[in-house]
Homo-oligomer: A and B are copies of this chain.
């Protein structure tokens, strides 16, 4: 499993992904699930992936190769004219990779599936955030649904739904994401540290902050241990039930 969240704020995009992959509980590894392509001052594109690792690695490799030999292949994500066209390219590539393996060789029910969050900005247009399905279609974040989760989404969702505010600072957003990730890690062995964190400021047209949060990161440990007490205080602040 996996846990990734992409969040649209007034100030820009905040993205976080875990790094655990597993085939059974006795075969776990650490792999990066966040990939960025930049043309500084012109565009920045970040992809986060959940699902079959062979599929997501193939997707990222194909997208990356095209950026390096654009004349040989269909339009690369670095030359697509809009974020919508970038999303179409990623989605079409994802669908192709999945169908290549799904239609030949051994059958494995949906085992080749993957889901992708794409965020970024191209000069002259606002930042945009997409959720891309294995079927090759996608949806875009809007006013009512300003963040996307992929992978093991349920444990960490209630806090996002309650505490998200699109006017929040990047620092507040990181704190919120760490609480959401910590709740997930505590409940599901297939989500694990380190976490990759990226901030793409509005109109920065490049990566504003990039940081890997290790399991012994002092700030993460403060949040993880402090959240239990904070929750108990929050419970105490509500009126008691009476029979």
**Interface positions of A (Cβ within 8 A of B):** 154-159, 161-163, 170-172, 174-176, 178-179, 183, 186-187, 199, 209, 211, 219, 222-223, 226-228, 230-235, 237-243
Contacts and interface: CB of A to CB of B under 8 A. Distances in A.
A158 B155 CA distance: 6
A178 to B, nearest CB: 7
A161 B186 contact: yes
Nearest to A187: B157
B155 A241 contact: no
Q: What is the interface of chain A mostly: helix, strand, loop, or mixed? A: helix
Nearest to A222: B239
A172 B237 contact: no
Contacts of A155: 154-155, 157-158
B240 A175 contact: yes
A219 B231 CA distance: 19
Given A231-B159, A233-B234, A241 B187 contact: no
21 contacts: A155-B158, A156-B158, A158-B158, A158-B159, A161-B186, A162-B232, A163-B228, A163-B231, A163-B235, A170-B243, A171-B240, A172-B240, A174-B241, A175-B235, A176-B235, A179-B235, A219-B241, A222-B238, A222-B239, A226-B238, A233-B237
Nearest to A182: B158
B187 A232 contact: no
A117 B178 CA distance: 33
